[in-house]
Amino acid sequence: MALNISESAVTVESQNRRSEKRPVGEVMLVRRPKITASNINVYYGNKQALFDINLDIHERQVTALIGPSGCGKTTFLRCINRMNDLIPGCRVKGDLAINGEDVYAKGVDVVCLRARVGMVFQKPNPFPKSIFDNVAYGARIHGLASNGTDLEEIVVKSLERAGLFAEVKDRLLEPGTSLSGGQQQRLCIARAIAIEPEIILMDEPCSALDPIATARIEELIDELSQNYTIIIVTHSMQQAARVSQRTAFFHLGYLVEDGETEVIFSTPEDERTKAYITGRIG
Ligand SMILES: Nc1ncnc2c1ncn2[C@@H]1O[C@H](COP(=O)(O)OP(=O)(O)OP(=O)(O)O)[C@@H](O)[C@H]1O
Ligand SMILES: [Mg+2]
C-alpha cells in the first residue's frame, strides 16, 4: 500500500497526546515490561511467518505495531493470547511472558489467559445479542457478577468507559448489530473491558471507521491506556504517531526496529523503517 505521507507530516503528528502529559523517558525508567517476547518464531505449516522476534511491551502504554501487509503483525498479536493455537498447522517457538510468566507453559489455562488479554478486531463483531448481553457476556462466563445488580453495574460502567453509554442507555435491549460501525466498535471495546483484562490487543480497530468515529476510538485508547497495556496494529502512520508511546516496525516477518514513537518517526535507525514511514515501501 502506498502511503501518501510526507516525512514532515509524520514529525508534526508525532506530538502525541500522552507523551505531553507523561514524559515517555520518565515512564521507561520505572516500569518493567508487561510482556516480553524472546526469540519468537512462528510457522504456518512449512512457511515461517515470524523470525526471532525480541520485543518488550511496556505496561500502561500504547504500543503501535506497524509494517507492510503480510509482515506478521497479526501473527505476533495472536502469539500473546495464544489465538494461534486455534489455527491448524500453526506453531509458535520461543518464549512469551506476561508479568514474567510463560504464556506457553504447561498447565496455563488458555480461557483465563484470553480473559486477561482482550482483543478488538478490525471489523466490529458484536454477538447476535442485545447491547446489554454483548457487554454482559464475558462477565457471565467468568462469573464476575454475583447477582443481576452487579451485572448491570458492570455493563453500565463498561459502556461508560467505552464512551458509549450516553448514546445507548435507552436502547440496551436492542441488538448490538443495530448500532453504527463506530458505535459497534465501541461496544466491542466495552465487551473487552467488561472482564477487566490487563492487556488489550487491537488489530486495525479503526480501519472500517470514518474520521469522526476514528477520533472517538483514539481518544478512548488514550484514556484506556491509563489502566491497560494496549497494543494496536495500524496502517496509518498518523494514527500510530497520535496514539502510541512506543512503536515497533515489522518487515517480512522480522522486527526491524522498536522504540519511542517520536524517535521511530523522527530519527529511525534502519533504512527500511525510514522508507516505510515516508511511504517508499509498503
Ligand atoms: N492462517 C494462516 N495460514 C497460513 N498462513 C498465514 C495465516 N495467517 C497469516 N499467514 C501468513 O503469515 C504471514 C503474516 O501474516 P499476518 O496476517 O500476520 O500479517 P499482517 O502484518 O497482519 O498483515 P496485514 O497488514 O495484511 O493484516 C503472511 O505471509 C500470511 O500470508
Ligand atoms: Mg493483520
Q: Given this model, what pLDDT does residue 30 score?
A: 54
Q: Given this model, what pLDDT does residue 1 score?
A: 38
Please give the distance, rounded to the nearest whole angstrom, from the Cα atom of residue 182 to the centre of ligand 2.
20
Where helices occur in the chain by DSSP H, the ranges are: 7-13, 17-21, 24-30, 73-80, 110-116, 131-141, 148-161, 165-168, 181-193, 211-224, 237-243, 261-266, 271-277
Ligand 1 atom with the shortest distance to the CA of 235: 25
Ligand 1 atom with the shortest distance to the CA of 67: 21
* The dihedral sign for the CA sequence 22, 54, 112, 71: positive
Q: Given this model, what pLDDT does residue 265 score?
A: 96
Please give the distance, rounded to the nearest whole angstrom, from the Cα atom of residue 67 to the centre of ligand 2.
10
Q: Given this model, what pLDDT does residue 197 score?
A: 94
Please give the distance, rounded to the nearest whole angstrom, from the Cα atom of residue 74 to the centre of ligand 2.
4
Whether 22 is covered by a domain: the verdict is yes
195 vs 197: CA distance, rounded Å = 6
Q: Given this model, what pLDDT does residue 26 score?
A: 52
Amino acid at 268: P
Whether 159 is covered by a domain: the verdict is no
Structural domain for 230, as ranges: 7-119+198-277
Question: Looking at ligand 1, which residue's alpha carbon is closest to its atom 27?
Answer: 69
Q: Given this model, what pLDDT does residue 280 score?
A: 79
Q: Which numbered ligand comes closest to the C-alpha of 50? A: 1
- The model's pTM is 0.88
Whether 262 is covered by a domain: the verdict is yes
Whether 177 is covered by a domain: the verdict is no
274 vs 281: CA distance, rounded Å = 9
Whether 13 is covered by a domain: the verdict is yes
84 vs 52: CA distance, rounded Å = 17
Whether 145 is covered by a domain: the verdict is no
Pocket around ligand 1 at a 6 A CB cut-off: 44, 49, 67, 69-75, 87
Helix and strand element counts for the chain (H, E): 13, 10
Residues in the chain where the model's pLDDT stays below 50: 1-21, 27-28
Q: Given this model, what pLDDT does residue 20 score?
A: 44
SS3 185: helix
Give the DSSP letter of residue 4.
-
Whether 146 is covered by a domain: the verdict is no
Whether 229 is covered by a domain: the verdict is yes
Q: Which numbered ligand comes closest to the C-alpha of 75? A: 1
The domain that holds 67 is classified in CATH as 3.40.50.300
Q: pLDDT per residue over 118-159, tens digit each?
A: 999 999 999 999 999 999 998 898 888 888 899 999 999 999
Go through the chain and tell me how many residues it has.
Answer: 282
Q: pLDDT per residue over 36-66, tens digit each?
A: 999 999 999 999 999 999 999 999 999 999 9
Per the structure, the count of domains in the chain is 1
Amino acid at 68: P
